[in-house]
Structure 1
Amino acid sequence: MSEQAAPTPGAIPALSALTTLRVGGASEAYFAPASESELVETARELWSQDEPWLILGGGSNTVAPDDGFPGTVLHVATRGIDRIEAPEGEVRLRVQAGEPWDEVVAHAVANGWAGIEALSGIPGSTGAVPVQNVGAYGQEVGSALVAVDVLDAESLEVRRLAASDLKLGYRDSIFKHGYQGLITAVELRLTMMGADASALGSPVAYGQLAAALGVDVGTRVPLGDAREAVLALRRSKGMVLDPLDADTFSAGSFFTNPIVPEAFARSLPGDAPRWPVADQPDEGPVLVKLSAAWLIEHSGIGRGFALPGSRAAVSGKHTLALTNRGGATAAEIVQLATFIQARVSSDFGINLQPEPVIL
């Protein structure tokens, strides 16, 4: 591997220092390439060897093992936001995979570019955003995504995949169904609304955000106002990292909202929230989305819940987040998640699916 990429002796960090849940031991080797070309070169060399490897970005969606990773961690930390040629009225950005996502949103809002303002405050790196098709408060990254540059793990060639090639769905993409590749850069399409954060953004599409802003759903508000309202909502749920608040030492929402047949949803209590699903199957039952938080709370697990003696706990602000209260192990996080799954399954017959990657 290149001399620039190679770590210095003793410089291998524990995964607890690289992940927002703050759990996990060290890996056997660690590389943090400084440029996109070096990132590609290092990944190619890793993949040509018959050794375990792990690609890690911002670490906000990872539960790392207590014993560490028995192989090489490739830390995607390349940064940069470049404005590229675009049709009139549009803004196209090519963003390096290691660029912190919230800094991309802040950059767009500050320049009066709309399309991702409701995705403010989401931790992690830009390269990970398309993998999950990250969404919040009525926006999904898929609506702004043009394409990604990917180093294909099989051919070891860099490919450009259009957003339509990624089969984006609710917290879903081809990367979660067997396709192996390393996203090196992301291209976004935004709408030029003005020259600064006072420009009106996209129509507010989520009731909770509209209420926080004091407007009706569908109203346009200044981009800066939308961003600040989203950040305030996320802080109220412990979803913005704060070194002084253990409630924020989490992987964000630990479970996805279940999607079930409408007929099954009718068997739940009448006050169980449910929402229509936009992308319905061509055949089969009509699907609806349920609230994982409601299911957890109504299975008897409240905010701040912890198993006896455990340092892992449900957030005191938001039942979808599992937190490290200080010194928790990955095993304690997984034990708590398993207990929650069992309670929800027993009470409602629904198997909650974890959102983070559990190594």
Structure 2
Amino acid sequence: MTEVEPVPLSQLTTLRTGGAPMRMFEATTSDELVATLREVWADDEPWFVLGGGSNLFVGDDPFEGTVVRIRTEGIERLPSPRPGFARLRVQAGHDWDALVAHSVAEGLAGIEAMSGIPGTVGAAPVQNVGAYGQEIVQTLVEVELIDESTGEVSTVAAADLGLGFRTSALKHHYGSVPARRAVILSVTLELAEVGHDQRPIAGEQLRTALGLGVDDTVTVAWVRDHVLVTRARKGMVLDDDDPDTYSAGSFFQNAVVSASFARTLPAACPRWPVTPDLDPVLVIPLSAFDGYVPPPAAIESDVKVSAAWLIEHSGVRKGFKLPRSRAALSSKHALALTNRGSATAAELAELARYIQGRVQAEFGLVLQPEPVLVNVEL
């Protein structure tokens, strides 16, 4: 366990905001991380863990608590019980894109569409990261984590993490606390062994993004390379020379709404059906069973709608900024709030509230922030 001199969090987050914490620790091994967290929790003070800092929006005032930087790294290949698959156990502090690059080099498929997403591996299940139709829930087997309430380390199956659209039982949603307060120590994924040959791409969303037809075949490396180019065009690949990348990625979530509400939105608004949760078990008490099994009730699927489209069609265009503000929408992507040069958290929050207000006024929908907010309010 190593205590280090606290530095302003503006130096460690991709939005480049945040004052210095009261205390700061760095952990480079899993055992060190466990020991550090147990000590911090014993002090009963505010805390949070910091990986790549790409999904945090931190306030300007000093943080009256402790920040634990997760610096653990390492990838271990394991056998899979399924033929044609391999498992990778990855330490929480490992760079996510470095993991994707490793998997592609090994001829493993399942996360290549998530190339270029900034941050660390341990943060990926927390918000069920995804891009172009791939989400970590599709390949996640289990995580090793430490619970704050007990200080115990356990292995938890992916099915027990409450993974949903950009959410999990571990995520600090704005205005609420997570269902389970815990820190991920390692992540295990199961990926398909596809090698380096060309193959068709199954996902329609990914094919559309890459301009591929149903019968087109490409290698997993080709997908990674073209996803990186596509993300870079949108300012979604970190680049010190490009202020459009001084962001937390998509600041607002694509909204998941009822089918009936979606019908109130303009037909031009992009939307995608969300598979409904169906209860596969119908229990009829034996005493009440008369030989008739009712058909399952028809359930309309919820709908995911494009937050970027809603923002732009509420009158807030790419590059928009409020007068005298150093915060602006990206000139390349309407979902990214960017720091154009020493912007304060207050300036970014002001812009976020303005955008929320415009979308609500035009479409009756309140967009929710995707990053975790620390020491700041919208």
Larger Rg: 2
Q: Tell me the residue number matched to 1:256.
A: 253
What do residues 139-166 of structure 1 show as CA deviations (whole Å, max 9, x unaligned)? 0011110000000111100010000001
What do residues 142-201 of structure 1 show as CA deviations (whole Å, max 9, x unaligned)? 11100000001111000100000011110011113321001000001011112xxx3346
Q: How does 1:37-56 map to 2 (within 5 A)?
A: 37-56=31-50
User: Structure 1 pair 256/357, CA: closer, same or farther in 2 (3 Å)?
Assistant: same
Q: Tell me the residue number matched to 2:224.
A: 227
Q: Which moved more, 1:302-311 or 1:280-289?
A: 280-289
Q: What letter corresponds to residue 324 of structure 2 in structure 1? A: G
Q: What letter corresponds to residue 94 of structure 1 in structure 2? A: R
- Contact 2:200 2:214 (C-alpha < 8 Å) held by counterparts: no
TM-score, normalization by structure 1: 0.93
Mapped pair 1:205 → 2:200: no
Mapped pair 1:21 → 2:18: no
Secondary structure of the residue that 2:126 maps to in structure 1? helix
Mapped pair 1:105 → 2:103: no
- Contact 1:119 1:139 (C-alpha < 8 Å) held by counterparts: yes
Q: What letter corresponds to residue 151 of structure 1 in structure 2? A: I
User: Structure 1 pair 219/155, CA: closer, same or farther in 2 (3 Å)?
Assistant: farther
What do residues 210-234 of structure 1 show as CA deviations (whole Å, max 9, x unaligned)? 2454421475420110001110110
Mapped pair 1:171 → 2:166: yes
Q: Which moved more, 1:218-227 or 1:325-334?
A: 218-227
Percentage of matched positions with identical amino acids:
53
- Contact 1:91 1:189 (C-alpha < 8 Å) held by counterparts: yes
- Contact 1:204 1:221 (C-alpha < 8 Å) held by counterparts: no
Q: Distance in 1 between matches of 2:214 and 2:6?
A: 48
User: Structure 1 pair 229/352, CA: closer, same or farther in 2 (3 Å)?
Assistant: same
Q: Tell me the residue number matched to 1:162.
A: 157
What do residues 13-59 of structure 1 show as CA deviations (whole Å, max 9, x unaligned)? 21011111011111111111121100000001111112111111110
- Contact 1:204 1:218 (C-alpha < 8 Å) held by counterparts: no
**Root-mean-square deviation (CA), in Å?**
1.6
- Contact 1:132 1:173 (C-alpha < 8 Å) held by counterparts: yes
Mapped pair 1:298 → 2:299: no
- Contact 1:280 1:287 (C-alpha < 8 Å) held by counterparts: no
Secondary structure of the residue that 1:183 maps to in structure 2? strand
Q: Distance in 2 between matches of 1:298 and 1:254?
A: 17
Report how many residues are paired: 349
Q: Distance in 1 between matches of 2:146 and 2:216?
A: 40
User: CA offset at residue 281 of structure 1?
Assistant: 6.0
Q: Distance in 2 between matches of 1:56 and 1:218?
A: 43
User: CA offset at residue 278 of structure 1?
Assistant: 1.6
Q: What letter corresponds to residue 30 of structure 1 in structure 2? A: M
Q: Distance in 2 between matches of 1:309 and 1:192?
A: 53
Q: What letter corresponds to residue 313 of structure 1 in structure 2? A: A
User: CA offset at residue 263 of structure 1?
Assistant: 1.4
Mapped pair 1:146 → 2:141: yes
What do residues 294-346 of structure 1 show as CA deviations (whole Å, max 9, x unaligned)? 10000000000000011000000000000000110111111100100001001
Mapped pair 1:344 → 2:359: yes
- Gaps in structure 1 of 5+ consecutive residues: none
Mapped pair 1:329 → 2:344: yes
Q: Tell me the residue number matched to 1:268.
A: 265
Q: Tell me the residue number matched to 2:86.
A: 91
- Contact 1:115 1:202 (C-alpha < 8 Å) held by counterparts: no
Q: What letter corresponds to residue 314 of structure 2 in structure 1? A: S
User: Structure 1 pair 218/31, CA: closer, same or farther in 2 (3 Å)?
Assistant: farther
Secondary structure of the residue that 2:227 maps to in structure 1? helix
- Contact 2:275 2:302 (C-alpha < 8 Å) held by counterparts: no
Q: What letter corresponds to residue 229 of structure 1 in structure 2? A: H
User: CA offset at residue 205 of structure 1?
Assistant: 1.3
Q: How does 1:172-187 map to 2 (within 5 A)?
A: 172-176=167-171, 177-187=178-188
Secondary structure of the residue that 2:170 maps to in structure 1? helix
- Contact 1:19 1:59 (C-alpha < 8 Å) held by counterparts: yes
Q: What letter corresponds to residue 289 of structure 1 in structure 2? A: K
User: CA offset at residue 206 of structure 1?
Assistant: 3.8
